[in-house]
């Protein structure tokens, strides 16, 4: 993996703005737009809300070419970035995603698995993260260079990758720059297997407690993960905040109507197809059964949109094979969708399918967007899942039935009935339930709190939350 050293001399940082009355923060956000990743939505809104609260923001990510190796780019995401945000793109790349065999060493060409195993061992020597650990020196150097150019008043670091924490600590250790850790899915909690990812005594555990102890605030995306950290570090519980992913209002149709009776129904899935293969297979089996047994679904379509695999496996993997085989069952594969076109996609769908892995520690940001559409939602995940908690009050939800194909078939049939019969009032009730999860409503209170903690009463006046945002604060016991 390239740690950036050999390319550092060619790095040209965007010129920082002249120091003025606005405080300056670094937002260490690997995955910032135009990266075509789901984390980019949260990152963009976070940067925009800090800018709206009076900060000049320097967002640090990696080169566009690096994202082209993975899921690709979505330049429509960059169009919505606040002008007070400058973006620094570091020349860092994942060598394990390189597909140009002309650049391979003899060892890599002849023993690729051994090469990757050795690469991960070398990365772990730098920082306890096997894929990204080697980026530590370059990230540390970048943050120190930015601080030299213009004093940094705050650092917000969002993980993953967790090697960001090393650079965060470096700026704190050398210049005492206060920082916020946006853990999102957490580090020591295994959100997929519902347990501890590593013990407190491990190298990773020592890094985690060190970083969290001196953090101004610690953000997580849901209550189960936040509770995990409150119980793991009770002495730091007062720093824990729930900042959900939420949804972007611009991606939601202004109106949703019942499906006309004279045309076939269209179900849809939007998101990266990085799910376990058995999960996708169960959904497709359930769809096939429902379509065969329910006349209302006989000519229905199931449109799957999003990236199918990353890097060398993009579009050519087990998921793609399953989807191709399901074409005879009305399954259509349409590829990724630019963020600016998502609203048009939801406008022509009649129901949505929430396919997500994990369990009680996982929510998935897509659940909030699905709820905001006012469309029936079919859940394809474990019954004991945090998405079930969020959806429990959503009136057009088919319920959590696990991953049994027969139960999923019944869920598809229930969603079809809802798509035809749910009236405007029911759909508005469904959309109203989701409004508390608008992305800005989640971030404004958190940004306001951090701004007050770092700058005090004399700092910029951040925006006030809307009534929906105030309700979120009241529910979480904050004012």
pLDDT in tens, 120-155: 999 999 999 999 999 999 999 999 999 999 999 999
Q: What residues pair up with 405 in beta bridges, in sequence order?
A: none
3-class state of residue 164 by DSSP? helix
Give the contacts of 58 (CB within 8 A, at least 6 positions apart). Answer: 16, 24, 25, 26, 27, 85, 86, 87, 88, 146, 152
The greatest distance separating any two alpha carbons of the chain, rounded to the nearest whole angstrom, comes to 68
Q: Dig out the tokens for 48 from the structure.
A: 């925009």
Break the chain into its structural domains and give their ranges.
24-242, 249-436
Could you tell me the CA-to-CA distances from 418 to 164, 253, 254 in Å, in that order? 45, 18, 19
Tally the residues of the chain.
479
pLDDT of residue 313: 64
CA nearest to 436, candidates 283, 191, 271, 242: 242
Residue 272: how many other CB atoms lie within 10 Å: 16
HSE-CB at 44 with a 13 A cutoff on CA atoms is: 24
Kindly tell me the sign of the dihedral angle through the C-alpha atoms of 17, 22, 25, 30: negative
CB 294 within 8 A of CB 415: no
How many Å apart are CA 69 and CA 97, to the nearest integer?
6
Q: Are 98 and 66 in contact (CB under 8 A)?
A: no
DSSP conformational letter for 113: H
Pairing mode of beta strands 85-90, 56-62: parallel
> Distance of CA 187 to CAs 50, 197, 199, 233, 243, Å?
24, 7, 11, 13, 16
Q: How many other C-beta atoms lie within 10 A of the C-beta of residue 240?
A: 19
Cα 269 to Cα 301: distance, rounded to the nearest angstrom: 11
Q: pLDDT, tens digit, for every residue of 177-203? A: 999 999 998 999 999 888 999 999 999
The DSSP secondary structure of 422-438, one letter per residue, reads --HHHHHHHHHHHGGGB
| Res 317: pLDDT | 83
Choose among 424, 423, 288, 265: nearest CA to 350: 265
β 189-190/195-196 pair status:
antiparallel
Neighbours of 262 (CB within 10 A): 5
pLDDT of residue 259: 83
What pLDDT does residue 468 have? 37
SS3 80: coil
Distance of CA 181 to the CA centre of its chain: 15
Task: Say if 24-242 and 249-436 have the same CATH topology.
Answer: yes
**Residue 160, preceding peptide bond in cis (omega within 30° of 0):** yes
Using one digit for the tens of pLDDT, what is the confidence trace for 278-302?
999 999 999 999 999 999 999 999 9
C-alpha distances out from residue 58 to 13, 90, 424, Å: 10, 12, 44
Give 194's Cβ-side CA count (13 Å radius): 9
Task: Tell me which architecture the domain covering 249-436 has in CATH.
Answer: 3-Layer(aba) Sandwich (3.40)
Cα–Cα distances in angstroms (integers) from residue 261 to residues 156, 396, 417, 421, 430, in the given order: 50, 19, 11, 10, 21
Backbone angles phi, psi at 200, to 5 degrees: -60, -30
Q: How far apart, in whole angstroms, are the C-alpha atoms of residue 226 and residue 209?
A: 15
Instruction: Supply the pTM of this predicted model.
Output: 0.88
Q: 330 is written with which tokens?
A: 């009305």
- Give the CA count within 13 Å in the CB-facing half-sphere of 366: 24
- Residue 168 bridge partners (DSSP): none
Task: Please list the ranges in the chain whose pLDDT falls under 70.
Answer: 1-20, 310-315, 457-479
Strands (E), 313-439: 331-335, 351-355, 377-380
Q: At what angle do helices 405-421 and 277-293 cross, to 10 degrees?
A: 60
Residue 468 in contact with residue 368, Cβ under 8 Å? no
How many CA atoms does the CB half-sphere of 16 hold within 13 Å?
21
Please report the beta strands in 68-115, taking only residues with DSSP state E, as ranges in sequence order: 85-90
**Contact between 377 and 397 (Cβ < 8 Å):** yes
**CATH number of the 24-242 domain:** 3.40.50.2000
């Amino acid at each position: 993996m390239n740690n950036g050293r050999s390319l550092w001399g060619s790095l040209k940082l965007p010129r920082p703005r002249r120091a003025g009355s606005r405080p300056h923060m670094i937002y260490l956000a690997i995955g910032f737009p135009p990266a075509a990743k789901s984390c980019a939505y949260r990152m963009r809104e976070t940067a925009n809300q800090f800018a709206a609260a009076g900060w000049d923001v320097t967002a640090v990510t990696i080169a566009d070419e690096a994202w082209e190796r993975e899921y690709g780019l979505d330049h429509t995401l960059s169009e919505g970035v606040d002008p007070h945000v400058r973006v620094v793109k570091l020349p860092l790349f994942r060598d394990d995603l390189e597909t140009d065999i002309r650049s391979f060493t003899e060892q890599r060409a002849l023993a690729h698995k051994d090469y990757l195993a050795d690469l991960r061992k070398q990365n772990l020597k730098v920082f306890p993260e096997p894929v990204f650990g080697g980026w530590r020196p370059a990230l540390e150097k970048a943050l120190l260079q930015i601080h030299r150019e213009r004093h940094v008043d705050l650092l917000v670091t969002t993980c993953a990758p967790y090697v960001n924490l090393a650079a965060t600590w470096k700026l704190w250790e050398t210049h005492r720059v206060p920082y916020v850790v946006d853990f999102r899915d957490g580090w020591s909690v295994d959100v997929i297997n519902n347990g501890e990812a590593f013990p407190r005594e491990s190298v990773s555990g020592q890094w985690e407690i060190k970083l969290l102890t001196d953090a101004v605030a610690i953000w997580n995306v849901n209550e189960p993960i936040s509770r995990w950290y409150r119980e793991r570090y009770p002495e730091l519980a007062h720093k824990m905040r729930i900042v959900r992913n939420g949804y972007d209002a611009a991606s939601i149709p202004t109106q949703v109507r019942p499906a006309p009776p004279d045309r076939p129904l269209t179900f849809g899935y939007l998101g990266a197809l990085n799910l376990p293969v058995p999960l996708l297979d169960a959904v497709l089996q359930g769809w096939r059964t429902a379509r065969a047994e329910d006349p209302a679904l006989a000519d229905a379509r199931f449109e799957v949109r999003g990236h199918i695999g990353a890097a060398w496996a993009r579009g050519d993997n087990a998921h793609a094979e399953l989807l191709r085989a399901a074409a005879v069952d009305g399954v259509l594969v349409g590829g990724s969708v630019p963020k600016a076109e998502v609203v048009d996609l939801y406008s022509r769908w009649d129901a949505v399918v929430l396919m997500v892995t994990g369990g009680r520690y996982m929510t998935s940001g897509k659940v909030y967007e699905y709820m905001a559409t006012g469309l029936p939602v079919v859940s394809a995940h474990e019954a004991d899942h945090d998405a079930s908690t969020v959806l429990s009050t959503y009136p057009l939800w088919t319920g959590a039935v696990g991953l049994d194909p027969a139960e999923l078939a019944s869920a598809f049939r229930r969603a079809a009935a809802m798509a035809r019969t749910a009236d405007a009032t029911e759909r508005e009730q469904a959309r109203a339930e989701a409004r508390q999860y608008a992305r800005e409503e989640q971030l404004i209170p958190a940004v306001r709190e951090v701004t007050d903690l770092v700058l005090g009463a004399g700092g910029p006046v951040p925006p006030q939350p809307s009534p929906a945002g105030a309700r979120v604060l009241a529910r979480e016991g904050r004012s």
